[in-house]
């Protein structure tokens, strides 16, 4: 998987030096470096525990207060679709979800909600994924997504295949939307990443599978882009996704991608998986629809090695 090398270079590749920017004093250099760090398009972190990697990533982007303001309502949307343990990597790592909740509350969020429209029984998914406990331990609120009454109709004027949908009311009522998928293989979409994770905010997903899945995935992004996308690549399901069969399907990679650009985030995560972004139809379609940039060589990327 040599394509992963693009993302796993040492942190020095992403930092400026005093000589490079021409500053003579330490204070000026620190201020300039902070400004550059806050201006990253994408952060790629490797070789740490999930919560530590997120700490480093969000700090390099300027801190969670850049995205969450005092008194705002936040919804965090991980993948909690499957009744499997964290070791199976069918769901987002609970340590990562818990840490994101904590950062949001520390930044002054009035409330932080977490939900998913699960595939298996929601209460078992929430419990056995470890996410329910992680959310509650860090002060967040876990909310079901298993009843149609939670979902409200929206129109998608710029959609080509997906013209309307029913979206969970938490998304409609939130000030900040943080999208936290797990990177994994998917039998229908090739890979499950940030855009694919948005299928968990809608009620009827069967329509998508019958009407050009990849176009529908891109279409929903035209309605609302998440404030921030955090892709969990700590444990990666390399085959038999989206549910997986056993821990034998999983490779521990210890990687994390963070970006406000959902297309760039997916492109970077695709490389970690060993795929070319342009070979994943919904990434290519979203790029062509100008919903984000899959051309990573055009972006400012901070690569951090723990």
Closest CA to 94 of 127, 46, 57: 127
- Does pLDDT of 9 surpass 70? no
- The dihedral formed by the CA atoms of 95, 100, 106 and 109, expressed in degrees to the nearest 10: -140
Beta strand pairing call for 111-114 and 73-78: parallel
294 three-state secondary structure: coil
pLDDT band at 30 (very low <50, low <70, confident <90, very high): very low
Q: What tens digit of pLDDT does each residue of 171-201 get? A: 999 999 999 999 998 888 788 999 999 999 9
Report how far apart, in Å, the C-alpha atoms of 248 and of each of 11, 88, 194 are: 31, 8, 24
Kindly tell me the number of DSSP H helices and DSSP E strands found in the chain.
12, 12
Round to whole Å and give the CA distance between 213 and 120: 21
Token pair belonging to 272? 């970690």
Domains and CATH numbers, the chain: 2-305 (3.40.50.11440)
Q: What tens digit of pLDDT does each residue of 115-130 get? A: 999 999 999 999 999 9
pTM across the whole model: 0.88
Q: Are 129 and 89 in contact (CB under 8 A)?
A: no
Round to whole Å and give the CA distance between 236 and 280: 17
**DSSP code, position 23:** -
Q: What tens digit of pLDDT does each residue of 195-254 get? A: 999 999 999 988 998 899 999 999 999 999 999 999 999 999 999 988 889 999 999 999
Beta strand pairing call for 228-237 and 176-180: parallel
- Does pLDDT of 11 surpass 70? no
Residue that has been written with the tokens 């997504």 in this structure: 145
* Residue 3: predicted pLDDT: 44
**DSSP code, position 181:** P
* Helix H or strand E segment including 26: helix 26-38
Report the sign of the C-alpha dihedral through residues 116, 117, 123, 126, in that order: negative
User: What's the helix, strand, coil split of the chain in %, to 5?
Assistant: 45, 20, 35
Round to whole Å and give the CA distance between 164 and 270: 28
Round to whole Å and give the CA distance between 299 and 306: 22
Q: What tens digit of pLDDT does each residue of 128-155 get? A: 999 999 999 999 999 999 999 999 999 9
* Residue 162: predicted pLDDT: 97
- Does pLDDT of 18 surpass 50? no
| 81 burial level (CB within 10 Å; 0-12, 13-18, 19+) | buried
């Amino acid at each position: 998987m040599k394509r992963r090398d693009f993302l796993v270079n040492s942190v020095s590749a992403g930092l400026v030096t005093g000589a490079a920017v021409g500053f003579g004093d330490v204070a000026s250099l620190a201020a300039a470096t902070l400004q550059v760090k806050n201006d990253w398009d994408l952060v790629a972190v490797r070789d740490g525990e999930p919560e530590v990697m997120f700490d480093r990533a969000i700090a390099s982007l300027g801190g969670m207060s850049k995205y969450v303001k005092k008194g705002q309502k936040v919804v965090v949307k991980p993948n909690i679709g499957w009744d499997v343990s964290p070791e199976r990597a069918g769901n987002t790592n609970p340590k990562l979800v818990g840490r994101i909740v904590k950062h949001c509350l520390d930044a002054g969020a009035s409330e932080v909600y977490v939900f998913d429209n699960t595939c298996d029984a929601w209460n078992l998914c929430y419990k056995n994924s470890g996410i329910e406990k992680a959310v509650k331990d860090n002060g967040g609120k876990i909310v079901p997504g298993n009843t149609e009454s939670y979902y409200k109709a929206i129109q998608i004027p710029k959609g080509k295949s997906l013209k309307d949908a029913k979206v969970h009311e938490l998304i409609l009522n939130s000030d900040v939307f943080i999208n936290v998928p797990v990177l994994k293989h998917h039998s229908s979409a090739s890979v499950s990443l940030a855009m694919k994770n948005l299928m968990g905010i809608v009620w009827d997903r069967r329509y998508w599978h019958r009407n050009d899945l990849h176009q529908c995935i891109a279409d929903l992004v035209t309605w609302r882009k998440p404030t921030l996308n955090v892709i969990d690549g700590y444990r990666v399901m390399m085959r038999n996704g989206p549910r997986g069969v056993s821990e034998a399907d999983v490779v521990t990679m210890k990687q994390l991608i963070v970006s406000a650009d959902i297309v760039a985030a997916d492109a970077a995560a695709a490389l970690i998986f060993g795929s070319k972004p342009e070979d994943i139809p919904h990434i290519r379609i979203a790029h062509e629809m100008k919903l984000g940039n899959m051309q990573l060589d055009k972006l400012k990327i901070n690569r951090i090695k723990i």
